[in-house]
Amino acid sequence: MTAQAQKRSDFATFIDNVRRIRREEWGDVSGYLFVAPLFLMWLVFGGYPYVRGLLIAFQDYRVFDRASWSIFNSFVGFRNFIEIFSDEYLWSGLKASFFLYLSWFPVSLVLSLGTAIVLNRVKRANVSAVYRILMTLPWVIPMAASMPMWEQIYEPNFGYLNHFLSNVLGVWKQPPAWVSDKFWYWPAIGVAAIWKGFGYYMLLFLIGLFNIPEEHYEVAKLDGASWWQTLWYLELPSIRNIMLLFLVTNAGFLGAGTVEGMTFGQGPAYIGKTIALRAYEVAFTGSMRLGFGSAMNLAIGIANLILVGLVLRFFKSEKA
């Protein structure tokens, strides 16, 4: 063996060792390349804005005032957060968020759960599929399209609802002007929201019910369990987790209502202006105070986390 060949093979072993150690230490590094596109996109358009959004909340950032863009010029500490308490729409906004939640949440829970239970007893697969598709269709309809649809139904003079109530059924001779009525605004937006969302929740409950093994039903039947007992002791306990999902994902109601308010309208005297919509308006309309809006959004997010935590805690103590 010549010296040169010896040297080359030393070099080859060296490279092999490097490769082996790299593989042991870092594994299959091409994995990083596979993850890179997602990671980089997220970093630039998701991660960075997230962190920057936290900083903006401590700035008096106004879009039309160039000097205020830099944090060194416009750092105001917690002043934005303190200002939230004196915002003219704070209390009415919190009230609106709560009313919006009340207007759809309880009914949607009962309706989606009840419909899933009834639909689960339809044994013919294609019949049940038709029902399922018809009921989940509203879920895929954009909010910006579904809200105008309901607005047209509610239209006091030419919409179908008032015509139906006063002329077809004849039960209510002078129905209200729904959307522009101080009280009826809430049921009106509530029904639209229920319509939009209940199919999705029904689908979740339905998946939960599908997962109950057929034998459990048979045992219940053999034991002579009534319809009610099957529901209470077999079906409801099996979808407990989905109920938890439903409650937890909707517990943060303070963040909801932005798009609803912007597409459905805010009712008379802005009664439908939820706190989340207010935060959006502060940041993106008028003098465009991104800093104040960001602080408001952040406060809403933290309040939402607390609400979610409370619901989780409640469920935990229930279980024990």
Those residues whose C-beta lies under 8 Å from the C-beta of residue 242, and which sit 6 or more positions away, are 204, 205, 207, 208
Cα separation, 290 vs 281, whole angstroms:
10
- Of the candidate residues 3, 37, 125, 224, the single one contacting another protein (CB under 8 A): 37
Hey, what's the torsion of the CAs at 39, 45, 46, 52, to 10 degrees? 130
Q: Which stretch binds another protein (CB under 8 A): 1-9, 11-19, 140-148, 172-180?
A: 140-148
- 210 exposed, middle or buried (CB, 10 Å; 0-12, 13-18, 19+)? exposed
Q: Does 213 participate in binding another protein (rule CB under 8 A)?
A: no
Which parts of 220-239 interact with another protein (CB under 8 A)? none
- Of the candidate residues 104, 105, 150, 205, the single one contacting another protein (CB under 8 A): 150
Q: Which stretch binds another protein (CB under 8 A): 12-20, 22-30, 102-110, 182-190?
A: 22-30
- Of the candidate residues 82, 137, 231, 269, the single one contacting another protein (CB under 8 A): 137
**With respect to another protein, which residue has the nearer C-beta, 11 or 284?**
284
Minimum gap (Å) between residue 35 Cβ and another protein: 5
- Of the candidate residues 199, 261, 267, 272, the single one contacting another protein (CB under 8 A): 199
Minimum gap (Å) between residue 24 Cβ and another protein: 10
Cα separation, 2 vs 104, whole angstroms:
85
Which parts of 258-317 interact with another protein (CB under 8 A)? 258-259, 262-263, 280, 283-284, 290-291, 293-295, 297-298, 300-302, 304-305
Q: Which stretch binds another protein (CB under 8 A): 97-105, 133-141, 179-187, 217-225?
A: 133-141
- Of the candidate residues 19, 20, 121, 240, the single one contacting another protein (CB under 8 A): 121
- Of the candidate residues 1, 46, 85, 86, the single one contacting another protein (CB under 8 A): 46
Tokens of 228: 């009610």
C-alpha distances in Å from residue 292, one per residue of 82, 84, 192, 206, 288? 10, 8, 31, 43, 9
Cα separation, 317 vs 310, whole angstroms:
11
Minimum gap (Å) between residue 137 Cβ and another protein: 6
Cα separation, 147 vs 286, whole angstroms:
25
**With respect to another protein, which residue has the nearer C-beta, 94 or 143?**
143
Q: Does 141 participate in binding another protein (rule CB under 8 A)?
A: yes
Which parts of 57-76 interact with another protein (CB under 8 A)? 57, 61, 63, 69
One-character DSSP codes across 232-249: IIIIHHHTHHHHHHHHHH
C-alpha distances in Å from residue 80, one per residue of 89, 278, 294? 15, 14, 9
| Partners of residue 75 on adjacent β-strands | 59
Q: Does 27 participate in binding another protein (rule CB under 8 A)?
A: yes
Which parts of 101-120 interact with another protein (CB under 8 A)? 111, 115, 118-119
Cα separation, 191 vs 198, whole angstroms:
10
Minimum gap (Å) between residue 251 Cβ and another protein: 12
C-alpha distances in Å from residue 13, one per residue of 7, 8, 26, 129? 10, 9, 19, 63
Minimum gap (Å) between residue 141 Cβ and another protein: 5
**With respect to another protein, which residue has the nearer C-beta, 1 or 145?**
145
